[in-house]
Structure 1
């Protein structure tokens, strides 16, 4: 018998610069070749998941909009041992942005980040302050050094505003690199183009995926190329990263779906 998959998505979420629905219609259409699938809204997942062999969380929107419902789903899935793709063992965005502070303090190549005192941050023309439990730039604001000095960072993190040449995203299934896309114009976050990473680029992204405690799932490593040429981590999205699959070629998309199906099959075997 074919495995039954509950695919969690919000097809109508108005994502700026992205079409959540189109991507998930494509993915579910291809995954139906391997599994029996049903789609549901994220707020319905906890009530429905017991009837399925696994739950795939995809373009479900920022959980800050339904934090209580997501927390209930997460707690229930962990308590019942539900197979969730991406696995709920991640240490990055799926549990907030504290990891940026931790990685920065540990010396990883991350945009310098603090949640306590600005003294640890380099001098910059301005700074970015954002909630630890935020996403999609919700709650983000720019402040001066003086404003930052007098600001309480309770529940927030602060970073210098980095002068960078472009942003680049690396997409992984499990620990395996799939493809990369970049943003030539920093002012147009979702106007991406194909990017051919160097060995050093791939090693940079692989380091963060290997740091994270996920064996089965999708991760997106977002980085910026600074004016001096180095890569710095912007975000490790391990909950429901948009994949921009429509910007890849047919071969890449087919390979991605096949690898995703294999990962789900391996997860179901646990």
Structure 2
């Protein structure tokens, strides 16, 4: 049976998200089809011997274990090990540079600047959002008034206007095939999601970013905001370890996603007898 190293941080804390519950649910299903070893990202590089594939899931913000993460990438490459997600994405896997790149290419993304002297291109917003280029889960994010912004003159970070959008919506894909969508009707409580029925235009919006990213395999979450004029702007292209909010899905859709996930993993290596180990 295929032996999977499942990388997650069961103790990672994020507002409104129970990472450990999602990964314990997923691994409870995977163990029916694979040998599964669950490990923390800080240990993963030392546990690759005898592994058929690596599944990188809710491992938290890479900034907190950047050295160990780079060691893992190096070890995976040296072994030519199959991974899910594949580490060839151009979205959050590489930090937030993609927002600047996509903007330069004319994609519909939230207006973004990297240099203070370029912030005039963002207009005169009532507030600014300043983010780390390699941050995640709001780590290092600041919301600044115009006075605070102009006094601090941030450099080497992403600068965005605070946009008055209607709501945030996320589109979830498995190997570039649409699975489901979720949205937060109350933008002040952005972690309280409910299922969303996308239109054809919505899916065309999300699909353009998948095509640009051209990741070999994995789970991608395309996060967007709906503006007052009904258009969408990209907020985040999460192609490393997107939280899936599976607990909020109806049972039928949740089971369908898990079945699809299992089938995608089976295509990476032969199957065998199930067992779960904890490291």
Q: For 1:39 and 1:75, locate their aligned partners in 2 and report how far apart those are by CA, in whole Å.
A: 20
* Number of the residue aligned with 1:10: 9
Match runs of 1:1-270 below 5 Å: 2-116=1-115, 117-145=118-146, 147-149=148-150, 151-268=152-269
1:233-261 CA-to-partner distances (Å, cap 9, x unmatched) read: 00011111110001111211111112112
Q: Give the deviation of 1:33 after TM superposition.
A: 2.1
Structure 2 residues without counterparts, runs of 5 or longer: 271-279
Backbone CA RMSD of aligned residues: 1.5
Contact 1:124 1:160 in 2 (8 A): yes
1:46-67 CA-to-partner distances (Å, cap 9, x unmatched) read: 0002221000011111111111
1:186-230 CA-to-partner distances (Å, cap 9, x unmatched) read: 111210011000111111111111211212100101100011211
Q: For 2:154 and 2:49, locate their aligned partners in 1 and report how far apart those are by CA, in whole Å.
A: 40
Q: Give the deviation of 1:267 after TM superposition.
A: 3.1
Structure 1 residues without counterparts, runs of 5 or longer: none
Q: For 1:114 and 1:205, locate their aligned partners in 2 and report how far apart those are by CA, in whole Å.
A: 22
Q: For 1:258 and 1:248, locate their aligned partners in 2 and report how far apart those are by CA, in whole Å.
A: 14
1:117-166 CA-to-partner distances (Å, cap 9, x unmatched) read: 11322331121111101111111112344554565544311111110010
Aligned length, in residue pairs: 268
Q: For 1:59 and 1:142, locate their aligned partners in 2 and report how far apart those are by CA, in whole Å.
A: 26
Contact 1:175 1:215 in 2 (8 A): no
Q: For 1:150 and 1:118, locate their aligned partners in 2 and report how far apart those are by CA, in whole Å.
A: 13
- Structure 1 residues 140-149 or 232-241, which shifts more? 140-149
Q: For 1:57 and 1:33, locate their aligned partners in 2 and report how far apart those are by CA, in whole Å.
A: 19
Q: Which has the higher contact order (CA 8 A, sep 6+)?
A: 2
Rate the CA distance shift 1:152–1:263 in 2: closer, same or farther, 3 A: farther
**What TM-score results when the alignment is normalised by the length of structure 2?**
0.92
Rate the CA distance shift 1:152–1:78 in 2: closer, same or farther, 3 A: farther
